[in-house]
Structures are given as structure tokens and as C-alpha cells.
């Protein structure tokens, strides 16, 4: 009896010990990567004659709603946002207004619905129902890309207007809409038969209209009439990894068009204005604008009867958004307070250029005089010496093709070219070589040394005293500079053979950041060489330069002008030192998506493809 009791106690103790040692969740096993699945709804999916104000959708596991306010889109749009909640395994949508009669509604949740444990999103989930007897079922699809970079645009609204007037985009709410995903893809579902204009909009004020100048937009040039067709789909079955067993041909329903291209851009809307004015130096007036000037700034002093012709030297930045007025008349320079009248062109409400006139007070505070006044001992003030004219000279190792020149702190009044000598090292001896000095047409204080520079060569520049005189009388002291040109084998060459190029095609070589480093009009034979490219990764782009200004230009909706079209070569090009690279490019051989998918899309296992959304 005692033995039996002892055995029972021992068994219970072992069971209790085993239970304590294994408390908690078991470890191991595959990670859950399956998104939630809808198992029921009230009303049913694609229901008709809906006359309630509440929709309830049930899923097979606990869910959470993430950023529903930003991600969920209801088409056609509502005046009042509905209340959308996620609780347990249900999503509830409560409408705060009466729905339109005989209308098909689509609720696009994008990827807002996720499972509670792992956060797996249910991508591209939509719920449709109708308040009428039937439900519209046509749909269109495509993608929205930035017009100049072809980056996919996420979160843009795509609007379908059955009113075909241009004013519908600016004044009316669309018939149907959708929102682009991370790849720039969109699907507008449940369209009624008919004709539509298709627009894209980054809607800053959420009113479904293009009515803010800063909103980026796009529009398709054609009128779209959605329809469908049956396409043959080929599936291959294999016995093993290499042996084909059966080829199956299936018919599938496809809604068209299914690959619309919309290129988003921002209009050149910003109004011209004077951002900053400065007089940091007594003899110079600086005017900084928010954008490039259309024409030269006109300026004249106020309150003087004297002849003020040629009282300044005009200097502009390369973009012409900054103007420096170098005053040469001592009567104006000496004034601490100077009133000037400046005239520049701005656009009026009709987008026409008109003159704007500003009257400005330009003050100068002489910091040196103020500092000297604070000194207690006046006898310690040393007589001010005239500083020589400084010159910034070339130095170090320069790139092949780079400008070799001199920059001065003020415009020049006089130059003695014979007092400037250029020498090239041959063997161990520097020998004099010929050259020209050319003033830059825009940067008037920059002078180019024009010479047939030899790759790998070493040069020395010698300048005598008083070779240069500035407009304020200062001259330079003797100067000397040494520099080298990089050898050719430090660079690579890119040969491009373009076929089927359109007229006004401008080909550009872009660096890894997408900035143009070389450009040229495509010649008639399509062959172009870009020499002396630094080793690195590059891209090729062709711009159809409609206005022949050597750069890409944006569009204008009111003028019906699309942004200039752009083609990208789909592959990244790697340039190696002392190597030649040949690229044959038929611009009609590749689609826009060839470049986008290879260079702009980040692969993610939870991100849907176009076929998955459709």
C-alpha cells in the first residue's frame, strides 16, 4: 500500500516537472507569410440593390487596419469620409451620407488590411457593391511615372471623367478613381461602358480637382473607351525540371486598356519675385531672385539729375537668378544709402509677361570704420594699404575637357595678354606654348585659357605684375601656378549607335545620381561618341527637345502642352578606365517598363505585380 502511494506521488511530481519545463509557446516552424483572407461579408461581395449604410467584412484571422485614412479610396468619391474600423477579424465601413442610386461603389483598401501577428498585408483588396439592379464591371489599368525621371509615383489619384471637357479636371469630381501603389500601378474598377478622359493628380487639398498650382498632374492624350477581350494563355507542365510534359492553352478574360501610361509633372507655376537684396560691399549691389529672370534686370538710381549712363558693370549667374551690379561711378559708391529703381518681368493673371518696378533702398555699413571708432588709442590706427588684385589660378591635376582659366574678384578694366606666359614640360624643360585668353560670356569675371591641352602633360602659368587691372584700380602682383592634365588611360569612351530616333532628339549621359554630365543632339546617322568619361556607372536618356533649348521642359495643362517626352536606355552602363563601351540602342525596342523594372522598382515579396492587382 505504501509503495503504491509512493509511486503515485513520484508520477505526479514528474508530470508537474515536465509541465513547468515546457511552459510558453513552442519554438521553430515556418514564419507565417500568408495575408488575411475574406471569408464572409454583409452584404455579399458584388451585391446589388444595397440600401444600408454599413458594410461588414469578415476575415479568417485577426486583422489590423494601417493608415486607412491615407490608403483607402472609395469610388465614386464621397462628400463625407466614412468611418472605417478594424476590430478582431472584422472590418466595418459606416457611410455618413446617403449613397447615389443605381451606382456601383468600389472600396479599395490597397494594403491597409494586415494580419495581427506578422503584419502580412492583403495587397490590392477591393470590395464592390451596387445600389442598383446591376453592377458595372469594366476596368482599366496602367501606371503613373514621373515625366523626367520615370520614377514610379506612389499615392497619386487617377481620375476617370465621363465629361470630356478639359474643365472637368479643374471643376468637377470624377466619375471613378483609384490610387497608385508603390510601383505606380493603378486599376480603376467597375466602370460603366462609355468614353472617358483619364487624369492623374497629387491632390494636395483632397477635393479631387486640379485647382492648386503646386499639384503635380498628368493626363492621357487620348479618349479612353474601356472594353474587354479574350486572350490565349499558355501554361507549360514539366515532368521534371527540364522535361516538358504538356502545353495547355487557356482563354482568359482581359479588360483593356491595361497598360495606360501617365507621366506626372509640375507646371512652371512659381511667380517671379525678388527674394533678397544685399549691399555687403560698398561698390556692389546684389539682387537674388527666386527663379531665373526672363530678361536682363533694368536698374537706375533715384534722386539724381546727373547723366548716369554706364555707371555700373552688369554680371549675372549662369541661371540668371542672381544679378550683381558693380558700380563704377564714385559718386554712387561713396553713398552709404542709395535708392535705386529696378525693373524686371513677371507673369500676370493671364500668364502674360509685364514689367514690375520696385524702388529699393540699398544700405552699406562700413564695418572697418565702426571697428576703428571703438579703438581707444587713435594713434594705433595704421594707414590702410592697398591690397593687390587677387587672382584664382588653376592648380593640381585637372580633368580632360575641364575649363582651365582664371577667376577675378571684380570685373577687369584692363588686361595685358603679353604679360601672361604658358609653358609645357617637354622631357625636363618647360617650353613656351601659344594660347588665347577668352572672357566667359556669362561669368564675366572668369577668363578661359584657350589651348589644345595635351592629356598627361604638365604646365606652368606665369603672370607679370600689373598684367590685370580691376575696375577699382587694383593690379595683381607677380603670380605663378603649376598644374597637370590627367592622362587618357584614366578614362573610358562610350560609343552610342541610336536607331529610329525622332527629330529634335537630345541624347544625355547621366551619372549615378541622374544628373546630366554630357549631352548632344543625335546626329543624322545616330552615331555619337562620348570620350573621356570618368570610370563609374551611367545611364542614357533621350529627350525630345521640342523647343531646342538643350534641356527637358515641363508641360502646361491650360496650353494643352505635355511635358517633353523622355526615353531611357534600360540597362545601367559601367565605364572602366582605358576601355571602350559600345551601346546599340533602338529606342522602339524597349518599353518604358524595361527601364523602370530594372532600375526604379525595389523587389519586395509582399508587393503585388500588375497581374496580381488585375
Q: Domain of 109: which CATH number?
A: 2.60.40.1220
Q: What is the pLDDT of residues 49-106, one digit of tens each?
A: 999 999 999 999 999 999 998 999 999 999 999 999 999 999 999 999 999 999 999 9
Looking at the structure, tell me whether residues 463 and 476 fall in a common domain: yes
State the average pLDDT for the chain. Answer: 89
Using the 3D structure, point to which of 80, 99, 130 is the last residue of a domain.
130
Q: Is 142 exposed, middle or buried (0-12, 13-18, 19+ CB in 10 A)?
A: buried
Burial track 276-307 (b if 16+ CB lie within 10 A, e otherwise): ebebeeebbbbbebeeebeeebebebeeeeee
Q: What is the CATH number of the domain that holds 339?
A: 2.60.40
- Decide if 216 contacts 149 (C-beta within 8 A): no
pLDDT of residue 347: 87
Q: What is the pLDDT of residues 558-577, one digit of tens each?
A: 999 999 999 999 999 999 99
Q: In angstroms, rounded to a whole number, what is the distance separating the alpha carbons of residues 119 and 63?
A: 8
Residue 95: inside a domain: yes
pLDDT of residue 384: 58
Find cell 490597397 and name the residue: 110
Cell numbers placing 506:
537630345
Residue 115: inside a domain: yes
pLDDT of residue 351: 78
Looking at the structure, tell me whether residues 364 and 439 fall in a common domain: no
Looking at the structure, tell me whether residues 104 and 163 fall in a common domain: no
Residue 21: inside a domain: no
Residue 65: inside a domain: yes
Looking at the structure, tell me whether residues 76 and 122 fall in a common domain: yes
Q: What is the pLDDT of residues 507-539, one digit of tens each?
A: 999 999 999 999 999 999 999 999 999 999 999
When pLDDT is averaged across residues 421-435 and rounded to a whole number, the result is 96
Looking at the structure, tell me whether residues 497 and 594 fall in a common domain: yes
- The edge-to-edge listing of strands for the beta sheet with 479-485 is 396-398, 479-485, 458-463, 420-426, 429-433
Looking at the structure, tell me whether residues 83 and 168 fall in a common domain: no
**Nearest CA-CA partner of 228 in 124, 161, 144, 141:** 141
Using the 3D structure, point to which of 462, 486, 510 is the last residue of a domain.
486
pLDDT of residue 305: 61
Of all residues in the chain, the percent with pLDDT exceeding 70 is 89
Cell numbers placing 395:
592648380
Q: What is the pLDDT of residues 312-321, one digit of tens each?
A: 999 999 999 9
**How many CB atoms neighbour CB 218 within 10 A?**
25
Q: How many domains does the chain have?
A: 5
Taking the C-alpha atoms of 427, 429, 430 and 433 in order, what is their torsion angle to the nearest 10 degrees?
-70
94-108, 246-260, 323-337, 594-608: segment of lowest average pLDDT: 594-608
Of all residues in the chain, the percent with pLDDT exceeding 90 is 80
Residue 390: inside a domain: no
Residue 533: inside a domain: yes
pLDDT of residue 71: 93
pLDDT of 3 > 50? The answer is: no
Cell numbers placing 490:
584614366
Q: What is the pLDDT of residues 207-231, one digit of tens each?
A: 999 999 899 999 999 999 999 999 8
Q: In angstroms, rounded to a whole number, what is the distance separating the alpha carbons of residues 42 and 94?
A: 12
Looking at the structure, tell me whether residues 318 and 360 fall in a common domain: yes
pLDDT of residue 1: 43
- Decide if 396 contacts 368 (C-beta within 8 A): no
The predicted model scores a pTM of 0.84
Residue 6: inside a domain: no
End-to-end CA distance of the chain: 76
Looking at the structure, tell me whether residues 503 and 559 fall in a common domain: yes
Q: What is the pLDDT of residues 104-144, one digit of tens each?
A: 999 999 999 999 988 999 999 999 999 999 999 999 999 99
Looking at the structure, tell me whether residues 495 and 594 fall in a common domain: yes
Looking at the structure, tell me whether residues 521 and 592 fall in a common domain: yes
Residue 591: inside a domain: yes
When pLDDT is averaged across residues 303-324 and rounded to a whole number, the result is 85
Confidence label for 10 from pLDDT (cuts 50, 70 and 90): very low
Q: What is the CATH number of the domain that holds 538?
A: 2.60.40.10
DSSP result, 550-603: SS----BTTTTBPPPPEEE-SS-EEE-TT-EEEEEEETTTS-HHHHHHHHTPPP
Q: φ, ψ for residue 16 (rounded to 5)? A: -65, -40
CA angle 359–361–362, rounded 5-degree value: 130
- Decide if 231 contacts 252 (C-beta within 8 A): yes
Looking at the structure, tell me whether residues 496 and 595 fall in a common domain: yes
54-68, 235-249, 587-601: segment of lowest average pLDDT: 235-249
pLDDT of residue 374: 53
Range(s) of the domain holding residue 281 = 274-368
Looking at the structure, tell me whether residues 146 and 115 fall in a common domain: no
Highest mean predicted confidence (pLDDT) among 230-244, 257-271, 595-609:
257-271
pLDDT of 350 > 90? The answer is: no
Q: What is the pLDDT of residues 396-421, one digit of tens each?
A: 999 999 999 999 999 999 999 999 99
Using the 3D structure, point to which of 323, 353, 368 is the last residue of a domain.
368
Q: What is the CATH number of the domain that holds 400?
A: 2.60.40.3710
Amino acid at each position: 500500500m505504501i509503495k503504491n502511494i509512493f509511486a503515485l506521488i513520484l508520477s505526479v511530481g514528474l508530470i508537474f516537472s515536465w509541465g513547468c519545463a515546457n511552459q510558453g509557446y513552442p519554438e521553430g516552424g515556418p514564419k507565417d507569410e500568408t495575408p488575411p483572407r475574406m471569408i464572409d461579408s454583409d452584404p455579399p461581395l458584388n451585391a446589388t440593390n444595397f440600401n444600408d449604410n454599413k458594410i461588414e467584412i469578415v476575415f479568417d484571422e485577426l486583422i489590423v487596419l494601417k493608415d486607412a485614412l491615407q490608403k483607402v479610396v472609395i469610388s465614386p468619391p464621397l462628400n463625407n469620409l466614412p468611418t472605417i474600423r478594424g476590430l478582431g477579424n472584422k472590418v466595418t465601413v459606416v457611410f455618413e451620407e446617403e449613397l447615389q442610386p443605381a451606382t456601383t461603389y468600389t472600396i479599395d483598401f490597397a494594403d491597409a488590411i494586415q494580419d495581427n501577428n506578422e503584419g502580412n498585408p492583403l495587397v490590392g483588396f477591393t470590395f464592390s457593391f451596387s445600389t442598383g439592379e446591376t453592377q458595372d464591371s469594366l476596368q482599366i489599368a496602367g501606371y503613373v511615372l514621373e515625366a523626367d525621371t520615370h520614377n514610379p509615383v506612389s499615392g497619386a489619384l487617377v481620375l476617370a471623367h465621363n465629361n470630356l471637357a478639359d474643365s472637368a479636371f479643374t471643376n468637377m469630381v470624377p466619375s471613378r478613381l483609384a490610387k497608385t501603389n508603390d510601383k505606380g500601378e493603378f486599376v480603376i474598377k467597375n466602370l460603366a461602358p462609355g468614353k472617358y478622359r483619364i487624369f492623374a493628380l497629387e491632390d494636395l487639398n483632397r477635393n479631387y480637382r486640379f485647382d492648386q498650382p503646386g499639384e503635380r498632374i498628368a493626363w492621357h492624350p487620348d479618349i479612353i473607351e474601356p472594353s474587354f477581350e479574350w486572350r490565349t494563355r499558355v501554361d507549360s507542365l514539366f515532368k521534371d525540371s527540364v522535361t516538358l510534359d504538356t502545353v495547355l492553352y487557356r482563354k482568359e478574360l482581359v479588360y483593356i486598356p491595361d497598360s495606360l501610361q501617365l507621366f506626372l509633372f509640375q507646371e512652371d507655376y512659381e511667380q517671379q519675385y525678388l527674394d533678397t537684396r544685399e549691399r555687403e560691399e560698398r561698390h556692389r549691389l546684389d539682387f537674388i531672385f527666386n527663379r531665373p529672370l526672363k530678361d536682363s534686370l533694368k536698374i537706375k538710381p533715384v534722386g539724381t539729375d546727373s547723366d548716369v549712363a554706364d555707371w555700373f558693370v552688369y554680371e549675372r549667374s549662369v541661371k540668371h537668378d542672381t544679378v550683381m551690379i558693380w558700380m563704377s561711378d564714385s559718386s554712387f559708391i561713396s553713398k552709404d544709402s542709395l535708392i535705386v529703381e529696378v525693373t524686371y518681368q513677371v507673369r500676370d493673371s493671364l500668364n502674360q509677361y509685364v514689367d514690375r518696378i520696385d524702388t529699393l533702398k540699398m544700405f552699406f555699413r562700413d564695418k572697418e570704420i565702426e571697428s576703428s571708432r571703438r579703438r581707444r588709442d587713435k594713434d594705433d590706427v595704421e594707414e590702410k594699404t592697398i591690397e593687390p588684385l587677387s587672382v584664382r589660378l588653376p592648380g593640381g591635376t585637372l580633368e580632360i575637357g575641364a575649363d582651365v582659366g582664371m577667376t577675378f574678384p571684380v570685373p577687369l578694366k584692363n588686361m595685358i595678354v603679353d604679360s601672361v606666359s604658358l609653358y609645357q614640360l617637354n622631357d625636363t624643360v618647360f617650353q613656351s606654348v601659344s594660347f588665347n585668353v577668352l572672357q566667359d560670356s556669362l561669368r564675366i569675371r572668369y577668363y578661359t585659357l584657350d589651348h589644345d591641352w595635351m592629356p598627361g602633360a604638365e604646365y606652368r602659368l606665369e603672370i607679370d605684375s600689373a598684367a590685370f587691372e580691376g575696375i577699382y584700380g587694383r593690379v595683381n602682383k607677380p603670380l605663378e601656378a603649376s598644374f597637370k592634365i590627367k592622362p587618357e588611360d584614366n578614362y573610358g569612351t562610350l560609343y552610342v549607335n541610336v536607331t529610329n530616333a525622332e527629330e529634335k532628339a537630345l541624347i544625355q549621359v547621366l551619372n549615378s545620381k541622374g544628373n546630366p554630365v554630357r549631352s548632344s543632339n543625335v546626329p543624322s546617322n545616330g552615331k555619337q561618341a562620348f570620350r573621356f568619361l570618368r570610370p563609374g556607372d551611367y545611364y542614357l536618356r533621350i529627350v525630345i527637345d521640342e523647343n531646342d533649348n538643350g534641356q527637358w521642359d515641363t508641360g502646361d495643362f491650360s496650353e494643352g502642352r505635355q511635358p517633353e517626352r523622355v526615353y531611357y536606355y534600360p540597362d545601367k552602363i559601367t565605364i572602366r578606365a582605358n576601355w571602350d563601351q559600345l551601346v546599340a540602342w533602338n529606342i522602339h525596342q524597349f518599353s518604358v517598363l524595361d527601364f523602370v523594372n530594372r532600375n526604379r522598382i525595389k523587389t519586395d515579396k509582399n508587393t503585388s505585380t500588375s497581374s496580381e492587382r488585375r
